[in-house]
Amino acid sequence: MVRLINAGMDSSSKTYVVGQAEIAARPLEAALYLVATPIGNLGDITLRALETLAGADVLACEDTRVTRVLLDRYGIRQRPIAYHEHNAAEAGPRLIAALEEGKSVALVSDAGTPLVSDPGFRLVEQAQAAGVRVVPVPGPSAVLAALTASGLPSDAFLFAGFLPVKDGQKRSRLEELKAAPATLVFFESPRRLAETLVAMAEVYGDRRAAIGRELTKTFEEMRTGTLANLAAHYAEAATPKGEIVVCVGPPQGKADSVEDVDRLLTSLAAEMPASKAAAEAARMTGQPKQALYRRLLDLRDG
C-alpha cells in the first residue's frame, strides 16, 4: 500500500537547510505543485522550490532514490512516493484523492521541469478535472539551458522531445518538422546521437546546430557547427556520456538577397513596431533577430 500522507511529520519537521540556517517551511494551500529541480548542479534549486518540497503533505517523484539525493542535500525530511509511467494508473488516483482531502501534493521529475517528456501531464489533467488548483514552481530546464547557449535563434522554438528509435520513423518525424519556422530542440540518447545527426543532415541539409551535453554538470559541453560537421565529429568520436540536447536552426527563407531582406523589413515595419518587425523577419528568413533589427534601424536612418 502506497502511503501518501506523511503522518509521522509534524509542522516542526517541515524545514529545509540553506547554508547553516534551518528554515521553517510555511504551510501550503491544497494544490498540485509542479516543482522544477536541478538538471545537474544541485545549487540551481530555487528557494521557493525548497520550501515547497519541505512543506508539501505529499511528495511524488519519478525515482525516490534520485529525489532523495536532493532532499538530503538540503536537509528536507520528506518520504517521497513514486509516480511514473509504470504506476501512473494506480498512483494517480491516490494522489488526486489526497488533493481532494485538502492535502498539498508536490510533483517532481528526476531532473528539470515536470511534464517535459514525462507522464505528469496525466496527473495535471486529472487534477483539473477534479477542480484542483495546479501551481507551477518554475526553475531549471534542459531545453532552455541548451537553447540559450546554442547561439541559434530563440525568438521562436519548438521542443520535439525524443525522436523515434527506428530509422524510418525517425526520418518521417524529421520531415514533419522540416518546414517549422523555428529552432528545433530534441532530447536524444548518447548511443543514438551519431546516427540521428546523420539523419538530420540528410533531411535538413547544412543547417546550423548545437549539441548540449551534461548541462550544468562538471563536464558540461556545448558543441556547435553545421549538421554535417557535427555528424562527422560524432561518427568518429567515442560514444558521448550523459544527457544530450540537440538544437537545430530554422530553415532559411526565400528572402536571401540583401535587397529582398530590406524590402521585407520595410514592409513589415510599416505595419508594426521595429522590434516586432525584426522578430517576424527573423521567423520568415531564419536570420538573427538582432542583426535584422540593426539593419532596420540603418534603413530608417537612411
Which of residues 290 and 201 earns the better pLDDT score? 201
- Cell numbers linked to 183: 529552432
Q: Measured in whole angstroms, how far is the alpha carbon of residue 173 from the centre of its chain?
A: 20
Does the structure show a pLDDT above 50 at 3?
no
| Pairing state between β 244-248 and 208-213 | antiparallel
| Pairing state between β 221-226 and 21-24 | unpaired
Does the structure show a pLDDT above 50 at 1?
no
pLDDT digits 0-9 by tens, 137-166: 999 999 999 999 999 999 899 999 999 999
Return all residues near 270 (Cβ < 8 A) that are at least 6 apart: none
